[in-house]
Structure 1
Amino acid sequence: MLVRWLLAAIHLLAYGFALASILRRTWALRRAAVPAALRSVFRADTRWALSGLVLVVTGLMRAFGGFEKGADYYLHEPLFHLKMTLLVAILILEIPSMLALMRWRASIRKGAPPDLRKARSYARYSVIQTILLVLMVLAATGMARGVGLPAGVV
């Protein structure tokens, strides 16, 4: 019981950290006109990645590790499928930003100025990711309350 509670708490806290991190990265990307501004982008991006990793690991443990209702429940829950679809969309949207940030980090290490012309585009991707993350929370809370399931299934 204690492990279930701790996993749930860590999972929920990771949503809060993820939301704060992606919002911070969005804000920093919008202001990334010069290489010196990238420090805050990189910090926020690292926090976004770490909170995402915690979300995925604790989510997998809760859904498939025998700590919650079990894989059979989750695999037959429509809101779980929605939540996973939103996660996949977030990860797909992350690819261009991740690749750009990797290039920017490499440029800075080499002492070359990174090409920041698309920074605002990556900020727009982050805004979409923020919306999808909020929708994930809505799906998760609906799932926890049995929204959309026939009576007596929860």
Structure 2
Amino acid sequence: MLMHWMLAAVHLLAFAGAVAAVLARGSALGRMARAEGTCRPVLLADTAWGVAALVLLVTGLMRAFGGYGKGTDYYLQQPLFHLKMALFIGILLLELLPMLSLIRWRIALGRGTLPDTGRALLFARISHVQALLLVLLVVAASGMARGVSLAHL
């Protein structure tokens, strides 16, 4: 029981960290787009966002399919779980372009050259949309935790 509780706590804390990190990345990218910032805050926030997303993924999989949650059958039959997964997949799809570009930024900086930051404003907007989707994911999760059915709405 303690492991279930701790895993749930880590999962919830990862949501908070993810929202904070992706918003920080979006803000840093916005400053960069206005020529008021540098790559370092963007990359630090991006790293934090990546770690939080990984923790969310691992703890979520453990809770849904590893025997630490309400059981696989519960999750697979719960429409709000399907909504959560759709939101998570949307977040991941939105992440593809910024992730690949920021990897290129890291490579360029490692080689001592300046990265192409021309899409910083686009990546800032993507980050803010991802933060909104994370909040919606938490809303769906809280409904699941309380046994809310879409039929009740």
Calculate the TM-score normalised by the size of structure 1.
0.93
Structure 2 residue runs without a partner (length 5+): none
**Per-residue CA distance 1:82-121 (angstroms, 9 max, x = gap):** 0000000000000000011011111111111111111000
Give the distance between the partners of 2:59 and 2:76, measured in 1 at CA: 17
Q: CA deviation at 1:57?
A: 0.5
Give the distance between the partners of 1:65 and 1:149, measured in 2 at CA: 25
Give the distance between the partners of 1:149 and 1:66, measured in 2 at CA: 25
Give the distance between the partners of 1:27 and 1:149, measured in 2 at CA: 35
| 1:88 is aligned to 2:89 | yes
Q: CA deviation at 1:149?
A: 6.2
Give the distance between the partners of 1:25 and 1:9, measured in 2 at CA: 24
Give the distance between the partners of 1:20 and 1:2, measured in 2 at CA: 27
Q: Tell me the equivalent position of 1:11.
A: 11
CA 15–27 in structure 1, closer or farther in 2 if over 3 Å, else same: same
**Per-residue CA distance 1:7-45 (angstroms, 9 max, x = gap):** 0000000001111101100000011256x7100000000
Give the distance between the partners of 2:76 and 2:6, measured in 1 at CA: 23
Q: CA deviation at 1:150?
A: 6.8
CA 124–149 in structure 1, closer or farther in 2 if over 3 Å, else same: closer
Q: Tell me the equivalent position of 1:117.
A: 118
Q: RMSD of the alignment, in Å?
A: 1.7
Give the distance between the partners of 2:46 and 2:68, measured in 1 at CA: 30
Q: CA deviation at 1:54?
A: 0.5
Q: Tell me the equivalent position of 2:134.
A: 133
Equivalent residue letter for 1:125:
I
CA 150–96 in structure 1, closer or farther in 2 if over 3 Å, else same: closer
Overall identity of the aligned pairs, in %: 55
Give the distance between the partners of 2:100 and 2:118, measured in 1 at CA: 14
CA 32–149 in structure 1, closer or farther in 2 if over 3 Å, else same: closer
For residue 69 of structure 2, give the secondary structure of its aligned residue in structure 1: coil
Q: Tell me the equivalent position of 2:55.
A: 54
Runs of 4+ in 1 over 2 A off after TM superposition: none
